[in-house]
Amino acid sequence: MSVRIGLTVAGETSPIEKLAVNTIRTLCMDAVQAANSGHPGSPMGMAPTAYVLWQRFLRFDPDDPIWPNRDRFVLSAGHASMLLYSLLHLTGVKAVNRKYERLGELSVPLEEIKRFRQLGSKTPGHPEYRWTSGVETSTGPLGQGLANSVGMAVASRWLASRYNTPDFTLFDYDVYALCGDGCMMEGISNEAASLAGHWELSKLCWIYDSNQITIEGHTSLAYSDDVATRFMGYGWNVTRVGDANDLEMVERALKVFKETRDRPTLIIVDSHIAWGAPNKQDTSAAHGEPLGEEEIRLTKRNYGWPEDAKFLVPDGVYQHFRDGMGKRGHELREAWFKRFDEYKKKSPDLADQLTRMQRRELPEGWDCELPTFAPDAKGLGTRESSGKVLNAFAKNVPWVIGGAADLAPSTKTRLAFDGAGDFEAGSYGGRNFHFGIREHAMAAILNGLSVSKVRPYGSTFLVFSDYLRPALRLSALMEIPTIYIFTHDSIGVGEDGPTHQPVEHLASLRAIPGLITLRPADAAEVVEAWKFIMQRQHEPVALILSRQALPTLDRMKYASAEGVARGAYVLADATGGNPQVLLLATGSEVSLAIDGYEKLKAEGIRARVVSMPSWEVFEYHCKHNPSYRETVLPSRVTARVSIEQASTLGWSCYVGMDGATIGMQTFGASAPLKALLTKYGFTPDAVVAAAKDQIRKASTR
């Protein structure tokens, strides 16, 4: 086949390269047209850049897309998903299943490109982690991928620092992220870039598709940043490719990245959206809709492509990718595994850690040093007990790493044992991270760490979970076990007032599918909560902790905290197990429920206290043990009271439409906690009154 104009190249470009680039372009155009939905413009503009990166640089073995030392490619501009799918297809990336087993079949066969955006296809609208092998992280919400890539680049450094030995370099992978104007505008990318610069993450390269077009039109509508200067200010190395079609210029820029050892690199690529489309190039019309049959024909004519051919992969193109990226990746992977075999012999302990980490398994005896807490009426904040528990097991799980958005002294998340250290520029083995006041980037970086198979946690006040919610949502969507520690979990914060008192946050976190929220009641429940969390392989958890001290309950008198693993359990029961009223509570309100229970008991009223640290875990447990719900919440007992210092949204599910909910209907206020508890009705007397009222009403139902 003859190629008339494939690329306006300055240097010599072989016909097969032009053919390969235009195959990427035309697959994208055809798939979007067939789906009658999608984003053709950016893939058409960036195909040459992506081609050079994949074919000439990326160290990626298509036969093993989860090889630990592979370079990562993140498509932060997730709407350009067809670009990634085309690359996965043309390079022959193979599928792995959920158990990390290699299946031998293509991750994205041509039929799946033809089924772009259809139900159940491997080519959903935006790239989805754990669904399409070779997709390193789910992207689409702009900016997230960029911040994820920082997490991956952190992991590259951290793993190198911890696991490379003088004889063996196991980790030295690079992380590339491709982004557009949208990613650049989003706040999260600014936070993430700032951290990447601060940490001097030289293994990180962002490639900016500067086509100056977004949905509403030219970027000048809303954007006049001098991006290069901005990134230089962050401490990045900035380089520019003045013509996205110039393969050699792209190569030179990537070489500059490879040679830069002390800072991350931003490559600004001046590109044209929908390059080659005679009527749509450089217009926002090419951003998010099919080009149209006629425009596609004209564009293909421009490319020297058969005008009516669809989903055409010309002879030689697959082979070309096999000879380039495929061969390079395969050889590197083989050599790596050979090296790893030797490494296993010399450093069996470290090798064992890496193997477990990859499979999300825990070391033997990881929990052997967990503390126990004696009954104590004064007790301690669950943030305090959590800090102790975290330190006790993190010692034995070397890849548990994390930090806070400048709140570690308050969230109690610092790892304080010998050798924990701080992650810093040039000292990359530390386990404590200082994310600064950047909650959103913190969470997305945690996700980048999670997909790199270390076990990360991050912390802030519960009220600021809103600042990172988009990334937390993606943890759940990606089914990765990122751990969020949210302290200062209610009006219990007291004097800091309503700006710092979460109200609606619990309800809104519970609304995220797949996220486990856990709000332990005392130190014993904290221990059990952490045991549960650490065994998660695919679910993120929001651990909700109090600032204020909570009594450590006497577990000889009340039930064992092991019930946490069932999400809800009977903590204190009526004599004979025949309650008149159920008191349901979580976290700091469980001891209040107990106080109410004791008062009721003294009056001869039979109450049951159900501690309910996790709705999600309870639901999951009941699904698999259907009788358990009835054991805990007998349906014949309709007198029910829920007690939680938060929005009552959702509690009717457990107390019924006629049940009582003691919670927050408004924002809180600034005052000492005692005054707030009285003002908002969190007193034993209020619990007793509600319980009696419920019993009375139930008798008339």
By CB under 6 A, tell whether 214 contacts ligand TPP.
yes
Q: Can you list the positions of beta strands (E) in 321-454?
A: 376-381, 400-404, 432-434
Nearer to ligand TPP, 188 or 698 (CB): 188
CB–CB of 443/413 below 8 Å? no
By a kind-dependent CB cut-off of 5 to 8 A, residue 71 interacts, out of Mg ion, ligand TPP, none, with none
- Cα–Cα distance measured from residue 89 to residue 66, given in angstroms and rounded to the nearest whole number: 16
Smallest distance, ligand TPP to C-beta of residue 142, A: 4
How many residues touch ligand TPP (CB under 6 A)?
20
Nearer to ligand TPP, 47 or 400 (CB): 47
Restricting to residues 171-200, name those near ligand TPP by CB under 6 A: 180-183, 186
C-alpha 563, offset from chain centre: 28
Q: Which of 38, 40, 127, 141 binds ligand TPP (CB under 6 A)?
A: 141
Smallest distance, ligand TPP to C-beta of residue 481, A: 24
Q: What's phi and psi for 400, nearest 5 deg?
A: -80, 115
Element (H, E) at 85: helix 81-90
Would you tell me which residues interact with Mg ion (CB under 5 A)? 180-181, 211, 213
DSSP for residue 466: G
Strands 516-518 and 541-544: parallel
- Residue among 118, 650, 672 nearest 664 (CA): 650
By CB under 6 A, tell whether 273 contacts ligand TPP.
yes
Residue that is written with structure tokens 């390059």 in the block: 275
By CB under 6 A, tell whether 354 contacts ligand TPP.
no
Smallest distance, ligand TPP to C-beta of residue 451, A: 19
Catalytic residue from among 136, 186, 439, 616? 439
Stretch that binds ligand TPP, among 210-218, 243-251, 362-370, 636-644 (CB under 6 A): 210-218
By a kind-dependent CB cut-off of 5 to 8 A, residue 140 interacts, out of Mg ion, ligand TPP, none, with ligand TPP
Smallest distance, ligand TPP to C-beta of residue 186, A: 6
Nearest residue relative to ligand TPP (C-beta): 180
Smallest distance, Mg ion to C-beta of residue 221, A: 12
Smallest distance, ligand TPP to C-beta of residue 273, A: 5
Smallest distance, Mg ion to C-beta of residue 213, A: 5
Smallest distance, ligand TPP to C-beta of residue 279, A: 17
DSSP for residue 439: H
Please enumerate in sequence order all residues whose Cβ is within 8 A of that of 119, keeping only pairs 6 or more positions apart, or say none: none
Restricting to residues 39-98, name those near ligand TPP by CB under 6 A: 39, 41-42, 77, 79
What's the token pair of residue 70? 């592979």
DSSP for residue 406: S
SS3 for 564-617, per residue?
HHHCCEEEECCHHHCCCEEEEECCCHHHHHHHHHHHHHHCCCCEEEEECCCHHH
Q: What angle do CA 54, 442, 83 make, to 5 degrees?
A: 25
Q: Known catalytic residue: 17?
A: no
- Cα–Cα distance measured from residue 34 to residue 310, given in angstroms and rounded to the nearest whole number: 10
Tell me the helix, strand and coil percentages in the chain, rounded to 5.
45, 15, 40
Nearer to ligand TPP, 277 or 590 (CB): 277
- Cα–Cα distance measured from residue 172 to residue 68, given in angstroms and rounded to the nearest whole number: 10
- Residue among 542, 514, 436, 448 nearest 143 (CA): 448
Nearer to Mg ion, 42 or 450 (CB): 42
Q: Which of 74, 88, 96, 142 binds ligand TPP (CB under 6 A)?
A: 142
Nearer to ligand TPP, 46 or 593 (CB): 46
By CB under 6 A, tell whether 520 contacts ligand TPP.
no
CB–CB of 81/51 below 8 Å? no
- Cα–Cα distance measured from residue 368 to residue 396, given in angstroms and rounded to the nearest whole number: 9
What's the token pair of residue 669? 């206020």
By CB under 6 A, tell whether 606 contacts ligand TPP.
no
Q: Which of 69, 137, 211, 638 binds ligand TPP (CB under 6 A)?
A: 211
CA distances from 426 to 57, 62, 198, 261, 343 (A): 25, 32, 10, 11, 24
The 607-646 site mask, x for binding ligand TPP (CB under 6 A), equals: ----------------------------------------
Nearer to ligand TPP, 35 or 688 (CB): 35
Residues designated catalytic = 439
Task: By CB under 6 A, name the binding residues for ligand TPP.
Answer: 39, 41-42, 77, 79, 140-142, 180-183, 186, 209, 211, 213-215, 273, 287
